[in-house]
Structure 1
Amino acid sequence: MPQAVTNVFQRIGRVIAGFSLAQRTIAIIGVAVLALGIVALSSWLTRPTYTPLFSGMSASDANAVVEQLRSSSVPYELADGGATVLVPEKDVYDQRLAAASAGLPGASSGGYSLLDKMGVTTSEFQQSVTFKRAIEGELAATISSIKGVTAASVQLAIPEESVFVSETVDPTASVFVETSGNSTLSPKQVEAIVHLTSAAVSGMKPENVAVVDQSGQTLSAAGVGTTGGIDQQASDYEARVTANVQQMLDTVVGPGNAKVTVVAEIDHSVNERVEETYTPAEGAPPLTEQTRTDTQNGSSSNAGVLGPDNIAVPSAGGDGTSESTETSKTNAVNKSTQSTSTPAGSLLRQSVSVAVDAGAGGDLSTAQLSDLVETAAGIDTDRGDSIAVELVAFNQTSSEAAQAALQAAKDAEGAERQAALLNTVIIAAAIAIPLLAGLAALIMRARRRRGADTEFEELFGARPPALSALDAGATAAIDQAPTTPLAFLETTPDPEPEPDPEPAQVSLERRRAEIDSLTRQDPKRTADLLRTLIDDRQQV
C-alpha cells in the first residue's frame, strides 16, 4: 500500500483514538445514518420503472398472465384491483409477445365472434338467439369500458315480429353494472348507458331500459327513465323548493328561525292528446261544385174548404209553375293536427307550510311572509296549490342541546389535537435534548480545553516536556523529564541585576513576573487551571 495512503489511515486512527465516548457514539450514529441513506438512495435509483402490460382484464385473464410472468421469472405489480398488470419497462414488449404466443389474454367468448361458429345447418331459431347473444356481448363489452365500470351484463327481450300492428310489443333491456369499489355512476353515465343500449336495438325506447348496479340500486327503471322513479322526482322537487324558500327566509329572519316543509303531488300517468283544427282556406277555389235545378209546369185547382153541412165551396182554377235549385260545393280547408304526450312526473299540486319564530319575525306580518313564500315557491292557486305561514314560538331546548354537544365535540377534538401535539413535542424533546446536551458538552469541553491551554501558555510560557509526553501517549517520559522550578515558588532573595539582558530573556522575566503577581493575587484560580489541565491530559 502506498505510504501516503498509510499515513492517511494512521492519521484517521489517531483522530478516532482521541475521541471521547460521546464523540465516538455520535460518529457511529452518523456513519450508520449515512450508510442507510446511501442504501436507500441506491435502491431508489436502481428500482425499475413499471409500465402496464395489459389493463382492463378479467380475473381469469389476469391470473393466466400472472402465471405466465411467474414462470418467466419476471417481476410484476398489480393495479386497479388486479385488472392491470405492470412489468418493468424493458420487459414490456417481450412479455407481450410471449403472452400473445400463449394466447393471453383470452379472446372474448361473446360478441360477434359467436357468429363465426355458426354452421350451415343452423336453424333459424339458433340464428336469432345467437344474434341476440352477440348484441348482448358487444353491449356488455362497450359498457365495461366506461370509466368506473368494471363489469357489465346485458339481457335483451326482443319480441318476434308480427304482421298485426295491434300485437306489436316494444323491446326491452336490462343492464347490470359492477362499479369499482363503492363508487356509483353519475346520472350522465347512467343516461349514456341507457341511450347506448336503446340505440343498439331497433325500436327500443330509452324508457324501456333498466339499469341496476351490484348493490341492487335501480339507476334507471323501465317505463320511467333515468330519473329514478316518480318518488325520486317528487323528492328532488320538494328539496329544490324547500332550499329556495329556506334561503329566502334565512336572509329575512336569520338562520335557524324558520322551518319550511314542502309536499308535492306528482302525476303518475302518461297522457297523450291529439288536437285537430280546421280553418278555411281564404281565396282558394272550391274543390268540387254541383248544382241541381227542378222545374214543374201544369194547371192546378185549389181545393175548397168544407163549409157547413159538408158542402164544398167551389174554388177557382189556374195554371201553376214551380222551380227549385240546389247547389253543393266542396271547399278546401286547412287542417292542423297537434299531438301532445305528457310523460309521468308532471306536478299536479303542491302545499307549502312555513313556521317562523315569533321572536325573530320582528315587524313582519303573516301576510308579508306569505307573499314572500308564495313567490319563492311558485304557488299557483289555479292548480290547487296551498300555503300556510304561522308565527310561533320555537322550542330552543333541542337546538341548545345540539349546540352544546357540537361545542363539546369541538372541544374534545381540540383537546385530542393538543394532546397529540404535546406527545409529539415530548417525544421530539426526549430525542433532541440528549443530543443537544451531548453536543453542548462536547463544545464546552473543547472550549474549556482550548481555554486551559491558552491560559497555561500565557501563565507558564512553553509547555513542559512532561505534558508534551502526555499528549504523545508516552507516560514513561514524565519521570525522566527534568523539572523547572517556577519563579513564584522560589523564596531566595532577588539576584543582582545583570547588565543589558537579551530581548527573549526580558520577555521571559516579564512573563514570570506576571505569573508571580497573578499567583499572589489569585492562588485559587491558578490551582484550578493547573488541575484542569492535568485532568484533561490524563483522559487523553
Structure 2
Amino acid sequence: MLDKLKQKLPPIKWDKNKNTILMGIAATVISGAIIFSLWRSSQGYTALFGSQEHIPIAQVVEVLGGESIPYRVNPDNGQILVSESQLGKARMTLAAKGITAVLPVGYELMDKEAMLGSSQFMQNVRYKRSLEGELAQSVMALDAVEYARVHLGMTEASSFAISNKPDSSASVILRLKYGHRLTEEQVGAIVQLVSGSLPGMKAANVRVINQNGDLLSEAYQTGNNGLSMVKTGPELAHKLQMAAEKNIANLLNSIVGLNNYRISVATQVDLSHIEETSERYGTDPHTIDENVSQESGNDDSATGIPGTLSNEPAAQADTGPPAAAVISRNQSQRKFAYDRDIRHVRHPSYKLEKMTVAIVLNKSAPAVEQWTTQQLDELKQLAEDAAGIDLKRGDSLTMNMIAFTEQAEYQEPILPWWQEPSILRWAEMIGIGLLTLLFLWFGIRPLVQRLTREEKFPVEAVAASDQRTAQEEKEAEPQLGEFDTEATDEKVLAKALPKSPFQEEENLPSPSSGLETKINHMQMLAYSETDRVAEVIKQWINSNERSNTESNEQTS
C-alpha cells in the first residue's frame, strides 16, 4: 500500500534552496504544534474557589507550588484555575494545610498593641471595627448565610439629659448560599441580635440587605419598635393552604398511600385590623360604703372639768318629779356598686373567613378500590377534623374517588452516539488531524513544489532549437572572413575565464534563434528562474546589437 502511494505521488526534487525550504517547513510545523498545545492546555481548567469567596490568594499559590499542582491565574478576575483532574486533590491539600476563607476580624484587633501617640479617635475606630467583625461572625453562624458585613453608626454618649443627636443605627449586608433564603423569623432574629448587642440601639434602626439589594428587614419591621409586620394577603393565604394540605397529607399517606391522592385548598382571608374595648357590669350590686349614726339621751349629761368632783351632780331637794328631757338622733347612709369588667382586645391582623377543600382519591389504588361508602364517609370526617373545617363559618370539604391516569416513569434522555462526550472528544482530535493534513497537502506541498520545480523543456522544442542553431552557425561561418581569428580567440578566452551563474546558457537558444523559440524559452525561464530573466534579455539585446554592428561594417 505504501509503495503504491509512493509511486503515485510525484517525487520532490530539491535544488540549491533545500536548507531554506526545510527550515521553513520545520518552523511551520513547530508553530502549529505550539499553538495546538497551548489551545489544548487552555481546556479543562476550572476555578478552584468561587469569585466571592475570601480566600488568601498568596497562601493558596504557595501551597499549590509546593505540592507541584499546576495552576493558572485568570487575568480578568484573579481567580485561581486548576485542572479538572486536579481539583479534588487541590482542595483536599488546602484543607489539610488549614487554608480556609478569611473571616471578618473581630476583637483580635484589640489584641494588637497601639502605636505610640495614637489618638482617642483611632482607638474608637479600632473598637468599632472589632465590634463589626464580631457581629458579622455571629451572623455568619446561620446555615443560610455565606458571608456577612456589618456597618455600625454609633453616636457618642452625651452628659446632657436632653440631646438632639440621632439614635445609633446599623446595616447588615448578607450573601446567602445558593438556593437558600431567610424566613421572616430569621431576619427578625438578625435584627434583634444586632440591636441587642449595642446599648440603646432600637430594632427599628437596623437594616438587613441581601446580595441582590433586597431590603429583607422591611417585611419585619414597622413603626412599633420592630414588632412583626402583617403579612400580605397572598402570602398569608398560601401559608394557611400549605398548613391545611400538610395536615391532610399526613393523614392520607398512611391510609391510601403516597401518590394516591390529590389535595386542593382555597381560602378567603380578611386582613382587617380590629381593636375593641368592652365594659361589663355584674348582675348583683355590692355595698361599697355604709355610714350609720344613732344618738339618744337626757339632760343628766356630765359637765365641768373631767376628773373632778364638779362632775358629780349636786344634791337636790325633793321638790317633786323632774321634767322629762328627751334627745334622739338617727343618721344612715349606704352606697352600692356593680362589678365592672373592662377588656381591651386586639384581634389578629387577619381572619379566615372561609376554607374550601377538595380531595380526590385514586380509585384504582389497591387500598381504595374495595372501599364502601361508609368507609369513605369516615375518612371524610377525619379529613375535616385534620383541616379544621368549621361548618358555621361556611367551610366545606369534598372527597371523591376517580381513577388516575397512569403517568409514564421519568427516564433520562438517551443521547445519540454522536453527542456522547467521548465521541465528541475523539471527533475533535480527528478533526484537528484532518485539518493538519489538509494544511500540509494544500498549503505546504504546493509551496515546496513551487520552490523545487526545475525547468523542464519540451524535448521536441529543444531538439528543433539545437538543429536550428547548428544550421545557423554553419551558414554564418563563410561570412566571418577576416574575423575568424578574433572569434576563435574570444571562444578560447571565454573557456579560460570562470563562468558566471548567468553565463551558463546550455539550455537557452542561441541569439540567432527564431522569435517563437525565444518566447517559449522565456516563458519557461520566467516560471522557474525569475532572477535570470533580466540578465538573459540583456545578453540577447547586446548580442543583437553586436550582430547589427558587424553587418553594418561588412556592408560598408
- Is the structural similarity TM-score above 0.5? no
Q: Which has the higher helix share?
A: 1
TM-score (norm 2): 0.36
TM-score if structure 1 supplies the norm length?
A: 0.37
